[in-house]
């Protein structure tokens, strides 16, 4: 709900803002992942601005060196910038993370590699401008099955004081 409130505020200020959700599959040594952030597209020059509300935390690593800690302290907690700004930061911080971990004889986890970090913001994404989430009762989602698939075994008629709400089921394997 917080994200939608921020997006609603930006839209009320006249910005073409949306929640962006990136999602990618694993392939070629790249671990699957997903990420959410905002973007604002300026209509007069089609410039896309990225807004990440918890930017600095995306770069935390285990047992960082002092120099990497200092670098993290200079990162903005909330990032607002263009793709060029973001690409430069990703390159510098990804390289610094690799050096920091290597100096401590630690392995660089796949989710801290430069290629993975780029996919967080530049991977395939879906842009959502709806101020309210689509309800489950909408016509487009009513056709989808959201039911839980399970097999019940051993339920007796004593459920709810002897009133059986659901018919007895049996395991059907």
pLDDT, tens only, 33-57: 999 999 999 988 989 999 999 999 9
| Overall residue count recorded for the chain in this entry | 173
pTM above 0.85, yes or no: no
Task: Name the residue ranges covered by the structural domains of the chain.
Answer: 2-133
- Parallel/antiparallel/unpaired status of strands 79-82 and 47-52: antiparallel
Candidates 98, 96, 59; CA nearest to 76 is: 59
Convert the pLDDT of each residue in 142-164 to its tens digit: 444 444 444 444 444 434 444 44
Would you say residue 10 has pLDDT above 60?
A: yes
Contact yes or no for 106/63 (Cβ under 8 A): yes
Q: Give the helix/strand (H/E) hosting 20.
A: strand 17-24
Q: Considering just the CA atoms, what is the radius of gyration of the chain in Å?
A: 23
Q: Give all strands (DSSP E) within 30-154, no chain letters.
A: 33-42, 47-52, 79-82, 125-128
Candidates 93, 92, 83; CA nearest to 56 is: 93
């Amino acid at each position: 709900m917080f994200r939608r409130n921020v997006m609603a505020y930006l839209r009320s200020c006249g910005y073409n803002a949306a929640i962006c959700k990136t999602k990618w599959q694993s392939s070629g040594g790249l671990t699957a992942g997903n990420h959410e952030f905002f973007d604002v597209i300026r209509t007069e020059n089609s410039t896309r601005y990225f807004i990440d509300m918890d930017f600095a935390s995306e770069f935390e690593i285990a047992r960082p060196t002092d120099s990497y800690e200092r670098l993290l302290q200079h990162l903005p907690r909330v990032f607002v910038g263009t793709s060029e700004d973001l690409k430069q930061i990703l390159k510098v911080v990804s390289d610094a993370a690799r050096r920091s971990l290597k100096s401590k004889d630690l392995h660089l986890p796949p989710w801290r590699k430069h290629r993975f970090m780029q996919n967080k913001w530049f991977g395939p994404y879906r842009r959502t401008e709806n101020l309210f989430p689509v309800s489950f009762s909408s016509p487009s989602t009513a056709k989808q099955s959201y039911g839980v698939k399970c097999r019940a075994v051993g339920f007796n008629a004593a459920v709810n004081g002897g009133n059986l709400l659901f018919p007895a089921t049996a395991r059907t394997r």
